[in-house]
């Protein structure tokens, strides 16, 4: 059965083909693409459809769980939260984006908290980590708000749009999981 979660204001479910247009619109916003590594800008036609197909397969294989954040009220898609699992190490990378109109309302925090719990409780992970560009304080604020600990900063660690970006890492190890 497909995993599905409910938070106070949001339902987290796997992406469906019908989400494609909204994914293209929200993820394709320049301010969302700017601080993520895997989101292209401009977002090409057809890319969301292909990504959704891949992501559903990846969830079935237990490799990546990408959940659509859907507002309970109105049922609109507002973002994405995901866990990329490294089965050999029993760990996963947490990542998220929220559509620009929905920033600053606690949605990423709410969704990330729930997915981290899923990672520890159901996937039995030992460690969950997350990375953000140092120029993206909103992202590492979310990490800190859900109890992740600052790990390290790596200067000029990734190349995005021709610029080497400094990256900050946060982590949560099972024994330190303050959420349980
Ligand atoms: C990062 C992102 C997911 C946050 O989503 P969100 O739903 O707005 O996050 P939340 O509202 O749960 O929390 C954001 C926190 O950052 C804070 N914040 C926002 N901008 C900030 C800034 N420039 N400096 C410091 N804190 C900031 C907010 O005040 C909030 O903290 P608070 O609840 O203590 O007030 C969203 O900005 C986004 O999608 N960005 C583009 C994609 C991206 O960068 N994804 C992460 C890749 S690592």
What would be the CATH architecture of the domain defined by 4-124?
Answer: 3-Layer(aba) Sandwich (3.40)
Q: How far apart are CA 165 and CA 155, in angstroms?
A: 7
pLDDT digits (tens, 9 = 90+) for 171-180: 999 975 555 4
| Cα dihedral 24→134→157→88 (10° resolution) | -70
Q: Where are the domains of the chain?
A: 4-124
Count Cβ neighbours within 10 Å for each residue of 26-56 and write b for 16 or more, e otherwise. Answer: bbbbeebbebbeebeeebeeebbeebbeebb
- Rounded to the nearest angstrom, the distance between the alpha carbon of 108 and the centre of ligand 1 is 7
pLDDT digits (tens, 9 = 90+) for 7-16: 999 999 999 9
What are the helix (H) ranges across 14-147? 20-27, 30-33, 47-60, 107-121, 137-145
Q: Is 82 in the pocket of ligand 1 (CB under 6 A)?
A: no
Closest approach atom of ligand 1 to CA 37: 47
Name the residue at shortest CA distance from atom 29 of ligand 1: 104
**Mean pLDDT along residues 89-103:** 97
Name the residue at shortest CA distance from atom 21 of ligand 1: 138
CB atoms within 10 A of CB 173: 15
Omega before residue 35 within 30° of 0, cis: no
- Rounded to the nearest angstrom, the distance between the alpha carbon of 131 and the centre of ligand 1 is 13
Q: Is 94 in the pocket of ligand 1 (CB under 6 A)?
A: no
Q: Is 117 in the pocket of ligand 1 (CB under 6 A)?
A: no
pLDDT digits (tens, 9 = 90+) for 143-174: 999 999 999 999 999 999 999 999 999 999 99
- Rounded to the nearest angstrom, the distance between the alpha carbon of 49 and the centre of ligand 1 is 27
Confidence at residue 179, expressed as pLDDT on a 0 to 100 scale: 52
> Of all residues in the chain, what percent carry a pLDDT higher than 90?
95
pLDDT digits (tens, 9 = 90+) for 17-27: 999 999 999 99
**Mean pLDDT along residues 51-74:** 97
Q: How far apart are CA 172 and CA 116, in angstroms?
A: 9
Q: Are 147 and 98 in contact (CB under 8 A)?
A: no
Q: How far apart are CA 69 and CA 111, in angstroms?
A: 7
H helix or E strand, kind and range, residue 78 = strand 77-86
């Amino acid at each position: 059965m497909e995993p599905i979660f409910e938070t106070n204001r949001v339902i987290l479910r796997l992406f469906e083909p019908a989400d494609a247009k909204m994914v293209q619109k929200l993820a394709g916003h320049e301010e969302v693409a700017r601080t993520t590594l895997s989101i292209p800008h401009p977002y090409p036609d057809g890319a969301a459809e292909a990504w959704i197909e891949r992501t559903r397969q990846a969830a079935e294989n237990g490799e990546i769980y990408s959940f659509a954040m859907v507002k309970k009220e109105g049922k609109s898609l507002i973002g994405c939260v995901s866990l990329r699992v490294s089965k050999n190490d029993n760990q996963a990378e947490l990542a998220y984006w929220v559509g620009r109109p929905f920033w600053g309302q606690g949605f990423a925090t709410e969704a990330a908290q729930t997915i981290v719990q899923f990672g520890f409780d159901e996937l039995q992970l030992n460690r969950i980590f997350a990375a953000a560009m140092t120029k993206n304080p909103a992202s590492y604020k979310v990490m800190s708000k859900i109890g992740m600990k600052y790990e390290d900063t790596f200067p000029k660690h990734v190349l995005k749009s021709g610029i080497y970006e400094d990256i900050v890492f946060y982590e949560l190890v099972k024994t330190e999981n303050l959420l349980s």
